[in-house]
Structure 1
Amino acid sequence: MTGMAEHHTDTPDASSLLYSAGGVGDMIVNALERHGPRTAFACRGHTVTYAQVAEQISRTLQHFEAIGLRRGDAIMQLTSNRHEMFVIMAAAFIGGYVSVIPNYSGSLDDHRYMLEDSGAVLLIVDVARTARGQELARGAQHAIRLASHDAVPGLPDFWREISGYTPRPLQAWEAPDDNIRLIYTGGTTGVPKGVITESRALAFASLLHIAEQGFDISTRLLVSSPLSHGAGALVIPVLVKGGTVVVHDGFDADRTLDAIHAGDATTLFLVPTMLYALMDHPRIASINLGGLRRIIYTAAPISQRRLAQALALFGPILHQNYGQTEVPGTILSLTAEDHLHPRGDKLTSAGKPYPCVAVRLVDDAGNTLPRDGGIGELCVRAPHVTRGYWNKPEATQELLRDGWLHTGDMAYQDRDGYFHIVDRKKDMIISGGFNIYPQELENTLGSHPAVASAAVIGVPDEKWGEAVKAIVVLRAAASATAEELIAFVKERKGPVMAPKTVEFTAALPLTPLGKIDKKALRAGYWDGRGSGVV
């Protein structure tokens, strides 16, 4: 299919079956068989056992085969949180297909690009994304099959279609080095990049989460941020240990507090803005927090003051995770114990490396910096580092140099060995847990007829960690309001990407080379505060 890697044979020989042992597909199959009668998911008012998930995956795989999908084909979903999303994704992992799940709130242009770049041959949408799916299918440059998670007139109902198959025992067919997932990140060039995820990489990352988080059979993990991204990284680890994943379709502070109070959630996965919402809720004082064993927070800068308040409120159960899609979510970890370090200066830290993860800091010449030796770029070497970006050899070469993955994040290591992220070598903004790349927004703003030039930066924000701010120069005799430009970006790039504020100026500061001086623009907002990310 268009854009896809060379296919493996549909019926592996004995040697390839032997080689396939040990990937994430085997990990999932083992978990489903081991914990069959237990509850795997609680979602949308009903529960699903491990055995039922296994049956749904079996039917899904039989359907993939019946409609002519081949190993290596990409399967794309556009859906909000539901346990069926995991079923399709797990079937892809087990069968050696490629799972592609963009952020469902992304723009049409981004979704179209991901569909074409991945070469996805099957697109499954939910009822809210029906129109988007139909538009994508109509404009696709290659043959694509469209189906729905829900009963929607005019679209095949995926779950009805597979209901006639008789479940069979599951067997994983993927090889450890198979690319089984593409997660698209924003790009400084304005074009998303698909991060290749090998089966063994995802399995290794899952083992790191199990080792670090202490999941067990009593774990009830509540996830309300998209399962397609960071929250989804914890699903397989919880299932391996026999726990339950409680799926909420979007974050609602009241509903989350109800789940905590009732004992339905022992573990939370949150970005800082969600944590703040719980802390500031008028009901928090009346909620029984005794059953809460772990709060995992990640994906965005967090206020040191608010983190100290969270420790006082919830107790020593907070765990910070620092990672990138290119090293599936597991580079540095600040454990619950680390939050209570006697030196008292670790709340600004991203922690220490996960087991089997090597981290170093390098200067601009590529020299390794000693501990307490200043700020350098954080580089990673680990078994689960991506082999690169899909169809992006130049970006891959830039990412992987001298045997190390270059994160683009600037950090220092303190005398106790903890890493502190202080800035980003590139201009990426992290706002409310989402990665936002300024050039994408600058290109969009530049397409407005009234805009002569624009610069986008992140500025400190108590709620979002960083807020997107656009600084705009208007064309001569042209006019536009801040509200108009915000709406303009929101329509084209989605609400997450839209600037929170717009400032108008007569000219943008330039470097001696004639480039926009982002450092000068940020200085008035960040000087004396740092711009750390966790």
Structure 2
Amino acid sequence: MDLANDNPAILRPWIAHYPDGIDWDVEIDTLPVHEQVLAACARNPFAIALDFLGGTTTFGELARKIIAFAGALQHQYGVKKGSRVALMLPNTPFYPIAYYAVLRAGGTVVNCNPLYTVHELSHITANAGADVMITLDLTQIFAKAEALVEAGHVKSLIVCHFPDALPLMKKILYSVAKRKDLARLSASPIANRITRFEAMIARNETPDAVVIDARKDIAVQQYTGGTTGVPKGALLTHANIAANMSQIDKWGCGLFYPPSKVIAVLPFFHIFAMTVCMNVPLCNGTQVVMLPRFELKALLSIFMRTRANVLPAVPTLLAAIARADSATAEQLAPLDVAISGGAALSNEIRTEFAGKSRALLAEGYGLTEASPVVCCAALRVPSKPMSIGLPLPGTDIRFVDIDTGKVVGIGEDGELQVKGPQVMVGYHNNAEATRDAFMDGWLRTGDVGHMDEDGYVFLVDRIKDLIICSGFNVYPRIIEEALAEHPAVEETNVIGVPDQYRGEAPIAFVKLRAGAQVSEAELKKFLAEKLNKIEMPREVIFKDALPKTLIGKLSKKELREEYAQTRVVK
């Protein structure tokens, strides 16, 4: 079904409720991102583009290094259209330089999480066919890259010298006090396969022209699905990446333009940060303030030092700010907008954050396969509580019954499905997974929810997390939201486990707030007023910490494995 030919008043109720100044059918820009960022650099070369721990890079410097590195990639490594280049870098100035240079050279970026195991990285690099990897000389990261070369999964390394990212005094101090943290490249058994990043920049080579077909050529091969199975490489074209940037830009109503400053504490190798923390602001000439990892003290100091006002975040990061005694209203005063993504934002965290900061807190929703943003709450005015907002301009959504596959009506729960210019073309070398990802041309998200009469979207849970209890659908998020309302509960995660009588039963894992005490019986009594008998957890397990993914999302995978090893079917 082609929504473009149908009645928009019926099929797109969200249009009537868009914030003032935003149109759904606005023209979407699909100019490749590297061309956009180089144009931004040319417009204002003396403005600061990047701030890393106080060290700054101007837009002019950024452009010079992108061009020089792109030329070296082409002429030294033969990077051309279709070449896969792996980036295993934390947030440093090296990342955006390498990212845009690979695209300018015609290559495809393959993001690699530096915290992944060598086994996980082996699958990604081998599946992608990435001959070259760009990484850091920090020992913990370099050792993994070295192992990948020794195993034959990567042929060559380009290594960035971490102290070069620091301002002068910090660089000197680091080189002396932290020298043991740096790998000795000359002593590596693969030394002959290593090129230093700074040496490539110093060649100052001009790259050859590359003709990009934005709608066909792949800009980023982003791996996804690692928490539930073997990661798949989502193929995102130049047009996909640029379209989502354009959609977010228009949704922001000027938020991502100077004098705004965007904080990048989420890692660029994650699709949310790549788009919202890096691509959108830099292409608009807006400063990006980077942290290599989340540390509350360092993040709070950024607000005071830089007056940065836009914070893309995940719920656990927002909870850490809201619950920290050290985070004061004065420190958070520069913050105008916090954008939550990556996981569901509980009402508890919303309330706690509002008690600490005056910033507008907007929840967004997306997935790797959509580059990633699909829906977002308004970024300038309040939206409906607990909603992930409205579909972005140019984006269509529908909800489909998870059993029959039929489109459901307003207010009825079903699987969220998406159409739009930001949706991937498929998975790399995986025709079966690509077929499964789509239904009648719509991207299947695997998330269950509904739309209200105003077009606002509300999510219930993931299909894969759905618990079938005595034939009834039980959604873990409903239980988690109820548990989060108890004053003693800091974090909670609910899974389904085999149950001889009911088929499956919910089990709740709970981390209590510091100094708090509550028994399982007391929690169940509290829940009895909020949940029906089928939703009531069979068991509440208290833990000192709950497992999280590498971007801070609570993870069910480890809990399922742990429970399977320690419990028997009841």
For the aligned pair, the TM-score class normalised by the smaller chain equals: 0.7 to 0.9
Mapped contact 1:349–1:418 kept (Cα < 8 A)? yes
- Correspondence for 1:149: 160
Do structure 1's residue 220 and structure 2's residue 261 form an aligned pair? yes
- Correspondence for 2:336: 293
Do structure 1's residue 92 and structure 2's residue 135 form an aligned pair? no
- Correspondence for 2:274: 232
In the alignment, the residues of structure 2 paired with residue 195 and residue 251 of structure 1 have an alpha-carbon distance, to the nearest angstrom, of 27
- Correspondence for 1:26: 35
User: Residue deviations 1:165-201, cap 9 Å, x none?
Assistant: 2364896643202111111112587211011010011
Q: Name which of structure 1's ranges 197-206 and 419-428 shifts more when overlaid on structure 2.
A: 419-428
The 1:183/1:71 distance shift into structure 2, 3 A limit, reads: same
- Correspondence for 2:408: 369
The 1:291/1:105 distance shift into structure 2, 3 A limit, reads: same
Aligned residue-pair number: 442
The 1:224/1:428 distance shift into structure 2, 3 A limit, reads: farther
In the alignment, the residues of structure 2 paired with residue 34 and residue 123 of structure 1 have an alpha-carbon distance, to the nearest angstrom, of 31
In the alignment, the residues of structure 1 paired with residue 227 and residue 296 of structure 2 have an alpha-carbon distance, to the nearest angstrom, of 34
Counterpart code for 2:57? V
Mapped contact 2:417–2:442 kept (Cα < 8 A)? yes
Mapped contact 2:244–2:372 kept (Cα < 8 A)? yes
Match of 2:86 among 61, 76, 79: 76
Identity %: 24
Shift of 1:277: 1.1
Query: What secondary structure does 1:331 align onto?
Result: strand
- Correspondence for 1:507: 568
Mapped contact 2:340–2:362 kept (Cα < 8 A)? yes
Match of 1:202 among 241, 247, 251: 241
**Which aligned pairs between 1:297-316 and structure 2 lie closer than 5 A?**
297-315=340-358
Query: What secondary structure does 1:236 align onto?
Result: helix
The 1:379/1:464 distance shift into structure 2, 3 A limit, reads: farther
The 1:189/1:238 distance shift into structure 2, 3 A limit, reads: closer
The 1:182/1:508 distance shift into structure 2, 3 A limit, reads: farther
In the alignment, the residues of structure 2 paired with residue 240 and residue 494 of structure 1 have an alpha-carbon distance, to the nearest angstrom, of 24
- Correspondence for 1:425: 463
Match of 1:133 among 145, 149, 170: 145
Mapped contact 1:184–1:192 kept (Cα < 8 A)? yes
In the alignment, the residues of structure 2 paired with residue 34 and residue 106 of structure 1 have an alpha-carbon distance, to the nearest angstrom, of 38
- Correspondence for 1:4: none
The 1:338/1:405 distance shift into structure 2, 3 A limit, reads: farther
Match of 1:255 among 280, 287, 298: 298
Counterpart code for 2:185? P
Mapped contact 2:86–2:110 kept (Cα < 8 A)? yes
Query: What secondary structure does 1:89 align onto?
Result: helix
Counterpart code for 1:427? D
In the alignment, the residues of structure 2 paired with residue 117 and residue 166 of structure 1 have an alpha-carbon distance, to the nearest angstrom, of 32
Match of 1:319 among 342, 362, 365: 362
**Which aligned pairs between 1:242-281 and structure 2 lie closer than 5 A?**
242-281=285-324
Pairwise CA RMSD of aligned residues? 3.2
Match of 2:454 among 416, 429, 451: 416
- Correspondence for 1:161: 199
Structure 1 stretches of 5 or more lacking a match?
A: 1-19, 430-456, 474-481, 510-534
User: Residue deviations 1:305-339, cap 9 Å, x none?
Assistant: 22023234322522221001101121111124664
Do structure 1's residue 347 and structure 2's residue 385 form an aligned pair? yes
In the alignment, the residues of structure 1 paired with residue 551 and residue 201 of structure 2 have an alpha-carbon distance, to the nearest angstrom, of 35
Mapped contact 1:332–1:352 kept (Cα < 8 A)? yes
The 1:161/1:468 distance shift into structure 2, 3 A limit, reads: farther
In the alignment, the residues of structure 2 paired with residue 88 and residue 259 of structure 1 have an alpha-carbon distance, to the nearest angstrom, of 25
User: Residue deviations 1:90-119, cap 9 Å, x none?
Assistant: 112222201011221112211000010000
In the alignment, the residues of structure 1 paired with residue 132 and residue 415 of structure 2 have an alpha-carbon distance, to the nearest angstrom, of 39
Mapped contact 1:467–1:499 kept (Cα < 8 A)? no
The 1:329/1:102 distance shift into structure 2, 3 A limit, reads: same
TM-score (norm 1): 0.75
The 1:218/1:167 distance shift into structure 2, 3 A limit, reads: farther
Shift of 1:293: 1.7
In the alignment, the residues of structure 2 paired with residue 123 and residue 500 of structure 1 have an alpha-carbon distance, to the nearest angstrom, of 33
In the alignment, the residues of structure 1 paired with residue 209 and residue 336 of structure 2 have an alpha-carbon distance, to the nearest angstrom, of 34
Match of 1:382 among 399, 420, 428: 420
In the alignment, the residues of structure 2 paired with residue 51 and residue 244 of structure 1 have an alpha-carbon distance, to the nearest angstrom, of 13
The 1:94/1:135 distance shift into structure 2, 3 A limit, reads: same
Counterpart code for 1:106? Y
In the alignment, the residues of structure 2 paired with residue 171 and residue 68 of structure 1 have an alpha-carbon distance, to the nearest angstrom, of 14
Counterpart code for 1:136? L
The 1:471/1:134 distance shift into structure 2, 3 A limit, reads: farther
The 1:25/1:403 distance shift into structure 2, 3 A limit, reads: same
Query: What secondary structure does 2:424 align onto?
Result: coil
Mapped contact 1:362–1:379 kept (Cα < 8 A)? yes
In the alignment, the residues of structure 1 paired with residue 51 and residue 228 of structure 2 have an alpha-carbon distance, to the nearest angstrom, of 40
Match of 1:174 among 198, 208, 212: 212
Query: What secondary structure does 2:409 align onto?
Result: coil
In the alignment, the residues of structure 1 paired with residue 292 and residue 34 of structure 2 have an alpha-carbon distance, to the nearest angstrom, of 26
Q: Name which of structure 1's ranges 132-141 and 396-405 shifts more when overlaid on structure 2.
A: 132-141
In the alignment, the residues of structure 2 paired with residue 411 and residue 301 of structure 1 have an alpha-carbon distance, to the nearest angstrom, of 12
The 1:79/1:40 distance shift into structure 2, 3 A limit, reads: same
- Correspondence for 2:121: 111
In the alignment, the residues of structure 2 paired with residue 365 and residue 115 of structure 1 have an alpha-carbon distance, to the nearest angstrom, of 38
TM-score (norm 2): 0.71
**Which aligned pairs between 1:41-80 and structure 2 lie closer than 5 A?**
41-66=50-75, 67-80=77-90
Mapped contact 1:21–1:175 kept (Cα < 8 A)? no
Counterpart code for 2:267? P
Mapped contact 2:30–2:243 kept (Cα < 8 A)? no
Do structure 1's residue 192 and structure 2's residue 270 form an aligned pair? no
In the alignment, the residues of structure 2 paired with residue 409 and residue 26 of structure 1 have an alpha-carbon distance, to the nearest angstrom, of 34
Query: What secondary structure does 1:279 align onto?
Result: helix
Mapped contact 2:135–2:145 kept (Cα < 8 A)? yes
Query: What secondary structure does 2:465 align onto?
Result: coil
The 1:212/1:494 distance shift into structure 2, 3 A limit, reads: closer
The 1:358/1:63 distance shift into structure 2, 3 A limit, reads: same
Shift of 1:301: 1.9
Match of 1:359 among 390, 393, 397: 397
Shift of 1:267: 1.0
Structure 2 stretches of 5 or more lacking a match?
A: 1-28, 162-182, 468-475, 500-508, 510-542
Q: Name which of structure 1's ranges 60-69 and 220-229 shifts more when overlaid on structure 2.
A: 60-69
Counterpart code for 2:144? R
Mapped contact 2:79–2:106 kept (Cα < 8 A)? no
Q: Name which of structure 1's ranges 48-57 and 30-39 shifts more when overlaid on structure 2.
A: 30-39
In the alignment, the residues of structure 1 paired with residue 210 and residue 327 of structure 2 have an alpha-carbon distance, to the nearest angstrom, of 45
The 1:146/1:262 distance shift into structure 2, 3 A limit, reads: closer
In the alignment, the residues of structure 1 paired with residue 268 and residue 226 of structure 2 have an alpha-carbon distance, to the nearest angstrom, of 22
